[in-house]
Amino acid sequence: MVRLRGHHLICLQFYRGEGYSKDFVENLYRVLEKAKSEGVEVVEGEDDVCIACPYNRNGICTHSDEANREIRRLDELAIRLLSTPLNSKVEWGSVGSVRDVLAVWKKEACKGCDWRGVCKI
Ligand code: SF4
């Protein structure tokens, strides 16, 4: 079972192989495969994607000055929209309700995201 924070439950549905480094991308593919076969535990803060990220400093997201606060806001929003509380365990396929929440997600989360150019949402 993989550990994923809230916003990764949504954003990874649209992952297309880009990333911050070779290690980050390779880890992300492993995480996705494991999520599909073993399921996901919803966690707060640093998750199995963050552990291979060059912006992760002791569990804090340093992608930008405001990143850690903004990422936590997005985690909370994703968890609320998907009705997947912290510590719950979900099948990757059952996060399919993502499609139902995309209108709100695009409005609240996608604006200003650095990944917009590579995301097909
Ligand atoms: S940018 Fe921040 S939230 Fe995204 S994977 Fe890296 S540490 Fe985690």
pLDDT digits (tens, 9 = 90+) for 70-90: 999 999 999 999 999 999 999
Does the Cβ of 11 fall within 6 Å of ligand 1?
no
pTM of the predicted model over 0.85: yes
Total domain count, the chain:
1
* C-alpha of residue 101 to centroid of ligand 1, in Å: 22
Across the range 29-44, mean pLDDT stands at 96
What's the CA gap between 90 and 102, in Å, rounded?
Answer: 19
Does the Cβ of 56 fall within 6 Å of ligand 1?
yes
Of 4-18, 43-57, 88-102, the poorest mean pLDDT is in 88-102
Query: Cα separations (Å) of 97 from 21, 57, 59, 86, 112?
Result: 30, 32, 28, 17, 24
Domain range for 91: 2-118
